[in-house]
Amino acid sequence: MSWLTRARQVIPGASQTLSKGPEMFVEGAYPVFLERGSGCRVWDVDGNEYVDYILGLASITLGYAYPAVTEAVARQLERGSIFSLPHPLEVEVAERLARVIPCAQMARFLKTGSE
């Protein structure tokens, strides 16, 4: 049974995000399920390699598995993640953004690539 068939049985629209759903792409022109990514390339569940022009819905601008990002995420995960209260890093990054973006007085951080 294909991943798409399985997904349609348990996930409405076969995707957790409407913009990633199979009906958003031309059948046969782009893969339906991806298994991994590195740089600008992704591999589907059948091992086929593609250049990803979608960029994780615009959240992967540095590429998949970018070493500096992967290492920083791993270091932070060792300290915990998704805390129920604010973390000092939120303030530090917001302050940095306000300094380097003249029109940004404040910043709000979200958890998906499609906001």
Q: Judge whether 113 and 57 are in contact, CB under 8 Å.
A: yes
Is residue 112's pLDDT more than 70? no
Task: Give strand pairing partners of 36.
Answer: 43
Torsion sign across C-alpha atoms 87, 92, 97, 102: positive
**Measured distance CA(40)–CA(54) in Å, rounded:** 10
Burial 92-105 (b: 16+ CB within 10 A, else e): eebeeeeeeeeeee
- Residue 113 pLDDT: 57
Domains of the chain listed by start with CATH number: 3-78 (3.90.1150.10), 82-109 (no CATH)
Query: What pLDDT shows up at residue 110?
Result: 81
Amino acid 114: pLDDT: 57
pTM for the predicted model, two decimal places = 0.76
| Average pLDDT value over all residues in the chain | 91
> Predicted confidence band at 25 (pLDDT cuts at 50, 70, 90)?
confident
Cβ neighbour number for residue 4 with a 10 Å cutoff: 15
**Rg of the chain (C-alpha set):** 18
pLDDT digits 0-9 by tens, 69-84? 999 999 999 999 889 9
Token pair for 94: 């917001």
